Structure 1
């Protein structure tokens, strides 16, 4: 699946846009104040990545964007693509040593910010520089391509707005560096393959974990995520959705469209589509739609209320 809008063009007015000259003056003033404070101006790596809400957006993002470009990760816990992309963004930002900061916004809890930025689906990645929002890309992207975009962002921020970033305290512990139990090497190999977009390799690694420990819930969920990402990777979303709309009785088209729905975080759409497909189909085709729906239930989690509602709808169709 290729990212869309991988570009530094298309500046969006947030209503707090500042002229480049004013932004440079503020950036220079902030650097002078930081220098006057000495080491007090340095930040820990953990301060470069933070969660943002509608209430804290102005202070954490807009105000800070006068000093350092702030990348925004619009995400939801419901999307496997978000689960894949978010740690890649975090590693890329931390590797730049204060040239960028990363703000993580849960779209489910911050709908007003979602509307303000015009985000249509997640994951979506923006940047705010001197109060101006720039769309970077939507969907997942290889780490190398993300690094290239971040390099462009840093260049724009410095050339147009005079932003050179934050001083990072090299002695501070990395974000969430608290002691954790060592990870199963096979599970770690699966996560690494997933980060690199090697979905087949990730599937094999997670299957190896489950062969040794069938009850490993993390491996089960990761395997389901990798399966989904592999299924949607080479799909043409427009063509799939057009085929599904043109022929509601085409079970294969409906299953593929449901996969895209879920990968994009549209859980209820995916469930509703497959429930309707089960209702319209019969025999082996009906069973295929039902099995895929059950697989998506497992991926989202049995404790999710949308799963409970969809299970009830499925039961009504079947019985």
Structure 2
């Protein structure tokens, strides 16, 4: 499954729903935490559909349309989505739509997507109330879902989109306490990214890593910010031509690997540097290896492609 960049499209027309949606609130209604077993997933019905979509103004909402009767396996995919989004601490909210019980919602989405009938399963990602990527029909494995969320998370960071959903199952704050918001430690780095200040973002993430080397989110942010810093203003076609003309030029190959990773061609980026490790030696080899490890950090050490990349690197080294 290839990476799909965020791209704004038309908003969904909710006027066809029979029941009026409630006024928006900071957290979608509807017992989502208990029903799905995840603090960041909610069962969607006609009453809370609009509120769920409106919460995508804070951070992306992942809608999964499934059918226990038409395609029982699709409900397992919905459960996988609900479970996986919980690993991202509010970066995503999952909305699970049982099309057997919510035929009207399925009809609205089908009409908005200019489809005669909604395919099941179907995964859609919304940002600011609009589809953010091309809808993904058909079964998606748990590993592919994890890859998708990792890629989307990288794009959010690169675009300076820092909002997070509040956990649905969280207890209400005590009187006089404020609700927890996004971790303020990351705000300076994320603000720098949003402003296009890559040098500032690198400096801020470096401070966080220096203060706590075990902070995986800061380490990943630092690695991605450095990639954005290195590739800023670089012409992709010129970089590819330079790399093709000099296959053993470490700088040229590293640049194309960085650009490939940013473009979603993660496995191509890894493979390019693994092969370069095979062809180099001594200090050059160490440099390529260290750079490849930094790309692993940017993607995320739990990503299946990183696990395969580490295996390939080990094979190339030994």
TM class by smaller structure: 0.5 to 0.7
Quickly say closer, same or farther: Cα 1:290–1:245, change in 2 above 3 A: same
Could you tell me which residue of structure 2 aligns to residue 240 of structure 1? Answer: 239
1:299 Cα deviation after fit: 1.9
**Aligned 1:3-42 pairs, distance under 5 A:** 40=21
Aligned 8 A contact 1:302 1:308 in 2:
yes
Q: Secondary structure at the match of 1:176?
A: coil
**Deviations 1:165-194, CA, capped at 9 Å, x for gaps:** xxxxxxxxx993446645443312212222
Quickly say closer, same or farther: Cα 1:313–1:47, change in 2 above 3 A: closer
- Which stretch of the first structure deviates more once superposed, 47-56 or 222-231? 47-56
Return the TM-score normalized by structure 2: 0.53
2:99 is the alignment partner of 1:51: no
2:232 is the alignment partner of 1:204: no
1:214 Cα deviation after fit: 2.9
2:131 to 87, 103, 110: 103
Quickly say closer, same or farther: Cα 1:249–1:219, change in 2 above 3 A: same
Could you tell me which residue of structure 1 aligns to residue 300 of structure 2? Answer: 301
Quickly say closer, same or farther: Cα 1:52–1:240, change in 2 above 3 A: farther
Aligned 8 A contact 1:277 1:289 in 2:
yes
Could you tell me which residue of structure 2 aligns to residue 19 of structure 1? Answer: none
1:263 Cα deviation after fit: 1.0
1:296 Cα deviation after fit: 1.1
Quickly say closer, same or farther: Cα 1:40–1:220, change in 2 above 3 A: closer
Aligned 8 A contact 2:8 2:131 in 1:
no
Q: Secondary structure at the match of 2:131?
A: strand
1:59 Cα deviation after fit: 4.5
Could you tell me which residue of structure 1 aligns to residue 165 of structure 2? Answer: 176
The separation in 2 between residues aligned to 1:304 and 1:7, in whole angstroms, is: 27
1:61 Cα deviation after fit: 4.3
Aligned 8 A contact 1:52 1:104 in 2:
no
2:249 is the alignment partner of 1:250: yes
Quickly say closer, same or farther: Cα 1:237–1:175, change in 2 above 3 A: closer
Higher helix fraction (1 or 2) = 1
Gapped regions of structure 1 (runs ≥ 5): 9-26, 67-74, 76-85, 94-100, 114-121, 124-139, 144-173
The separation in 2 between residues aligned to 1:234 and 1:197, in whole angstroms, is: 12
Could you tell me which residue of structure 1 aligns to residue 194 of structure 2? Answer: 195
1:314 Cα deviation after fit: 1.9
Gapped regions of structure 2 (runs ≥ 5): 25-49, 67-96, 98-104, 115-122, 141-150, 153-157, 171-178
Aligned 8 A contact 1:52 1:105 in 2:
no
1:255 Cα deviation after fit: 0.4
User: May I ask how many residue pairs the two structures share in their alignment?
Assistant: 210
Aligned 8 A contact 1:271 1:293 in 2:
yes
The separation in 2 between residues aligned to 1:250 and 1:110, in whole angstroms, is: 42
The separation in 2 between residues aligned to 1:217 and 1:191, in whole angstroms, is: 15
Q: Secondary structure at the match of 2:188?
A: helix
**Aligned 1:158-169 pairs, distance under 5 A:** none
1:313 Cα deviation after fit: 2.0
- The CA RMSD over aligned residues, in Å, is 4.2
Q: Secondary structure at the match of 2:234?
A: coil
**Deviations 1:182-220, CA, capped at 9 Å, x for gaps:** 544331221222222222212222222233333222211
1:112 Cα deviation after fit: 10
Q: Secondary structure at the match of 2:130?
A: strand
Could you tell me which residue of structure 2 aligns to residue 275 of structure 1? Answer: 274
- Larger relative contact order (Cα-Cα within 8 Å, sequence gap ≥ 6): 1
Could you tell me which residue of structure 2 aligns to residue 228 of structure 1? Answer: 227
2:112 to 64, 72, 76: 64
Return the TM-score normalized by structure 1: 0.53
The separation in 1 between residues aligned to 2:312 and 2:209, in whole angstroms, is: 31
